[in-house]
Structure 1
């Protein structure tokens, strides 16, 4: 792999290119002295290829080392949970051993680094300079450390140049070569981390949201280094022949013209992807972004090809990644959405609280797993855009089905009797914001019975790597439509409790909604969960109505309703002090609520065996 990615030590035909350029410049009226002053603007003259090879190797070794460390930690964590699951599944009432931490360094690292925000408590809440400008979210502390190292190394590599030379333009030429090589190299993780089918997501069980964060930063580094590469070339060219030489080079040398196309496109991508633009017009941004990326990659490919530069294999790898991504996505769409007899359909129902419930009838069965999400396509309302939604429910198959999925080792499955495994129907819930979700809601409101059916299809499923089966206590926080991420966990864990296939003995759902009308979003599914055998022994539900229209009354001892917003610190302290075995706290909610739950959980990470799991779509 290193040999493939590293620039090949080929005998580059610099002399032939230089002679060709010289003849061309003579024809344009340049003399030999003028051309000599331009020698650091063309080919590899002055470029520190030995240094480029060295830093490319360092970059690859760094990426491999990080992946190995993360994989090792992930395997160790999976092994620990697997043993905990096996030891408590047979006798789930005796979990005191697993309720306390068995090491001190890991809980400390988890509390102060891995689960910590950058500063104080803000992480997924939008970071705003003003109420009108949304600047996205702040990375966590661990992400920040990795990004600082990543950015710092790229800066250091660009500054590690031959300064002790007679002509400073040789140093500028070395900067041109170094920044160009690093820009092309950083394009590999930029593309890889943007892919939904990135194999590292499954291998390392790192969320797409995390990879998307690193995608954005790798892209920013690529853009800056592309600009440095172009400016270094322009500096040497203007110092040798003025702006006329720049114009001549762009006009007569296709490689430089295509290189300028790539730089302009990359710069436009950087401006267009700025968070206020991205979030204000996301669907428009996405379509323009894809077209700009295609133009930038074509420009870079032609730039490298026409000068036979040694970074060409990197472009082949990038196109392989991107091509494979679209092949997998296309196969997923075709498999679940089309058959010789029919195609999948989507029923859209308007719900209280400006929400819609989507029921998707697939042409083939799929295996639902708690915590997964799909990308939904509805060409009738949004031809080119797909949207990610958590899978709220998978309809049970025929009554004679006797199978369920039980995670063995964080994602593997074993068929055991007792509950459904396959389904041809999935349901989603989404709030009407802008774009597609608003169009769906408004059309449903205007349709008979406030619902309509159209053709559409899904892509996925993705995610769902977190197994909660080894925890004695599970606390599920949901805000608004975040309930869609938690309902499947409820069904799975209650079923596992009844069959003694999970360690979970206490399940607590804490759901916040604006009004009690919003409970209609998941009422048929919650009714099914509440009718499950053993539910009263393990499940408690706390509903918080933030803007109640009248008096709020609890329906039973196990399902209670409250006015106002929850206080995560008080709720978590109560559950931690009365926990059974190890405890998991998960949250799928708005950025502010998720940050509040994170802040409430962190002090307990070093006090007991408590884990924090967050589901967020911050892209």
Structure 2
């Protein structure tokens, strides 16, 4: 045993190693000297310290074994029992027994949505579903039990060596403080695992990595609380309960392990403060992200310096963090390792053409289109894009609005985004500047991804589909619609798009895609309802703004150098309708569509099969839809065979980041 470790243990537990006959090893702690030659009270206290520590390590192992078992069973269940809502009996492929099993699963899923899909305690947890809050509550309860279990709560008054008349007050606060310190260390790799973009958790569970952000954030809060309690408890012990004072407190404060411990506590508080919404707004998201990375790794290093005996938790934390970043770099390199113009191989950025749509009031919109040699992604996945002409240190997540199709070895990419401030505003200004200079409006991009999971894996042929989008959120739902209209039409299937935009001209962001949907509207029973929320109708808001007698809706593109007069075709009839454009707003204010009415009418109008709602847009819209979709479900009706009331929600909440 090193001399400084011996001195450290002597300072804390008054053990003399010079006459030790045996050193008993303890995982995660310093070895114990046997036999104990101190006074009876000190020996009893040391018995409790080491027993509590060993139990803490055991409980940490149980915690990780529980997490591992859940993930293992989840991964096996996903593959052994694929999540499909189709009965199968409709197509004559399964027997009644399997049909009954599917009905039970659908009924259970329906009751789960009714109970856990709405949001819970928004002032505290933000826009988070009850399911996420329930998982956090279960984890918190689990940790609370292990923080106190197995500790014999007692007080020992022991004499101070070489100081007659002075006594130390030793309590179970010491073992308890060490216990929560162990749990804080044990949770560190889990917190980092929940933050990974290249997430093994997503591979095992099928949940997109952004679905773990809530637990990552709150697990960080728990670790900060645990660290604070650990620090406060030992400060009380060393400054108040141990004698003589202030000598004991000063010696303790200058110990190397204590300096590292205080450093770790300060770093964890900085991580907490900088992750609050007001701090992110003040410093900017990019500063928060980069500072978070650096501070987190320095924090892990400080924890190692404080108590390296628990490096069994810290080493995996470092490996997970750096492995995640390494995989990102490798994937980016593979995407851009292409043939160069001179015929050699090397790193080559993608060249995107930019189309600028002016909107001085709410922020200009930019559309990017380019082709790139790579493998196709899955519908619902997104890429992180770095605009190298602006900054190589920033990247932003964007969802392709087109289908991932390989043609002649190339895959087309199309994106739209609203430029309000920061990097996206710089890109919009760049596009406008190039266009005004009569230059070709292009910019080099670096892609990382694809990230996330498919959102149509469980979409069955009999499922009705309702897509709801607000503004640029149309990018996330368009691929779902484009994929459906390319498949063979399914009898009695109902498909509808509800898109809320501020101005009628905003339809030209995705004019090509809307026209593609229009061409298949009649054969696939597709309806497109576009609500203009910022422009007042010249007639009653309940009247449609289209001129059905013309058979074509004329639309002028937003003003700007790239604008051109175009049209979006739309037939307006009572059967097999296609595109409705309705102005519902007023001058100077927005009036949003009644989502509750629209979703309920859609579900009620379906003939058979479950309904999948795909949504992307502002935070408030997503919050409303969670409650609305939950209310549309009916476990009783689904159990009786009425699948129309099996309504699921898939939402892209990255707009909330």
State yes or no: 1:56 paired with 2:60. yes
Say if 1:475 and 1:508, in contact at 8 Å, map to a contact too. Answer: yes
Give the one of 485, 492, 507 matched to 1:494. Answer: 485
- Secondary structure at the residue paired with 1:371? coil
Correspondence list, 1:188-587, <5 A:
188-239=189-240, 240=242, 241-242=244-245, 245-251=248-254, 253-280=255-282, 281-305=284-308, 309=309, 311-339=310-338, 340-341=345-346, 342-353=348-359, 354-359=363-368, 361=370, 363-394=372-403, 397-398=406-407, 423-449=410-436, 452-467=441-456, 468-498=459-489, 505-531=493-519, 536-548=523-535, 551=538, 552-553=545-546, 555-557=570-572, 558-564=578-584, 565-579=592-606, 580-587=608-615
Quote the Cα distance in structure 2 between the aligned partners of 1:475 and 1:55.
Answer: 46
Distance 1:200 1:70, change over 3 A: same
- Shift of the 347–84 alpha-carbon distance from structure 1 to 2, 3 Å rule, reads farther
Secondary structure of residue in 2 paired with 1:384: coil
Does the Cα contact within 8 Å between 1:373 and 1:391 map onto a contact in 2? Answer: yes
Find the aligned partners of 1:140 and 1:479 in 2 and give their Cα distance: 20
Aligned to 1:602: 630
Cα distance, 1:582 vs structure 2: 1.9
Higher Cα radius of gyration: 2
Find the aligned partners of 1:379 and 1:326 in 2 and give their Cα distance: 19
**Separation of aligned partners in 1, 2:92 and 2:292:** 49
Deviation per CA, 1:509-564: give whole Å up to 9, x if none: 111101112111111222234345x7543321111110126653263231111122
Q: Which residue of 2 aligns with 1:139?
A: 128
Does the 8 Å contact 1:207/1:463 carry over to 2?
yes
Indicate how the Cα distance of structure 1 residues 237 and 273 shifts in structure 2: closer, same or farther if over 3 A, else same: same
* Structure-2 separation of matches of 1:243 and 1:429: 65
| Structure 2 unaligned spans of 5+ | 15-37, 94-98, 158-168, 339-344, 539-544, 548-569, 573-577, 585-591, 638-644
Matched positions, count: 545
CA distance in 2, matches of 1:440, 1:171: 60
- Shift >6 Å, 4+ stretches: 10-14, 20-23, 42-45
Q: More relative contact order in 1 or in 2 (CA 8 Å, sep 6+)?
A: 1
- TM (norm. structure 2) is 0.75
1:333 touches 1:458 (CA, 8 Å); kept in 2?
yes
| Alpha-carbon contact 1:497-1:538 (below 8 Å) kept | no
Q: Deviations over 1:550-603 (max 9, x none)?
A: 653263231111122322222222222221322111211212112222222222
TM-score normalised by length of structure 1 = 0.79
Aligned partner of residue 535 in structure 2, secondary structure: coil
User: CA, structure 1 residues 466+243, in 2 after alignment: closer, same or farther (shift >3 Å)?
Assistant: farther
Going from structure 1 to structure 2, the CA distance change for 1:22 and 1:154 (only over 3 Å counts) comes to closer
Aligned to 2:173: 172
1:543, 1:559 within 8 Å by CA — same for their partners in 2? yes
1:213-233, Cα deviation, whole Å (9 max, x unpaired): 000111111111112222222
Q: CA deviation at 1:108?
A: 4.9
User: CA distance change for structure 1 residues 472 and 261 in 2, over 3 Å: closer, same or farther?
Assistant: same
